[in-house]
Amino acid sequence: MPLPRPALIFPFLAASSIFAADFQKDIQPILERNCYECHSVKTGKKKGGFVFDDLETFKLDIKDNDVAQIRPGKPSESHFLEVLVNDGKNHMPPNENLSSSEIKKITEWITEGASFEKDAPKMAPVAVKKSLPPIMSWTSTEGKTIKAGFVRLEGDTVVLRLPANGKEAAVAMSRLSEASQKLARDCAAP
């Protein structure tokens, strides 16, 4: 059964001002059960260069910039969360889905600032103009469809975040189907 999309979780997060995601109590056990097999110093596997049990290394993937895997306070812009909820070939963990409560806890943790410290100050919720799913379908004028997240609209160009690598790609609106052009305008609307 498919998991609820983060779009259904994000509105709740934007409306709520108090969260309770603690890395050691809530997040680390999820990562240990689902990720350490392939992303752990302890197992000797660092697939994709990611490890989640060495917090100093893991911390390098948590920054507020366009190439970070986790953007504190911005779950919808965090590639880490995208690969947990997408249904594409880069879905993690492979062949499994996290429960909706696990996705909610990870989303809360990122929203609060993605800190490893229990008593770290929580980030104020980022003003969100609209809750969007991290992955949407975009169709070209040739009828080809890709899955990507909406980032922004810049004039006649839509900027999308690719789930495979988290990188941004600019696409001319004229190369998108009429429905995808409307989707881009709707996503950009306040």
**Considering the chain, what is the average pLDDT of its residues?**
82
Name the residue with higher pLDDT: 129 or 115: 115
Which residues, 6+ apart, have CB-to-CB distance to 152 below 8 Å? 158, 159, 188
Under 8 Å between Cβ of 134 and 80: no
pLDDT of residue 116: 92
Which residues, 6+ apart, have CB-to-CB distance to 158 below 8 Å? 138, 150, 152, 170, 171, 173, 176, 184
User: pLDDT band at 138, cuts 50/70/90?
Assistant: very high
Measured CA to CA in angstroms, residue 143 lies from 1, 104, 112, 157, 178 at distances of 28, 34, 40, 18, 11
Q: Mind listing the pLDDT tens digit for each residue in 73-104? A: 888 888 898 888 877 777 889 888 899 899 98
Given phi > 0 = left and psi -120 to 50 = alpha, else beta, which region is 19? beta
Of the spans 64-73, 131-140, 178-187, which averages the highest pLDDT? 178-187
Is the pTM higher than 0.95? The answer reads no
Q: Selecting from 3.40.50.620, 2.30.30.700, 3.40.1550.10, 3.30.830.10, what CATH number does the domain 136-188 have?
A: 2.30.30.700
Name the nearest CA neighbour of 180 among 141, 153, 151. 141
Low-confidence winner among 5-19, 99-113, 115-129 (lowest mean pLDDT): 5-19
Q: Mind listing the pLDDT tens digit for each residue in 36-80? A: 999 999 999 988 888 999 999 999 999 988 778 899 988 888 889
Domain boundaries, the chain: 6-111, 136-188
pLDDT of residue 136: 87
DSSP of 70-89, one letter per residue?
A: B-TT-GGG-HHHHHHH--ST
**b/e sequence 34-68, b meaning 16+ C-beta within 10 Å:** bbbebbbeeeeeeeeebbbbeeeebeebbeeeeeb
Under 8 Å between Cβ of 51 and 41: yes
For residue 144, pLDDT over 80 is answered with: yes
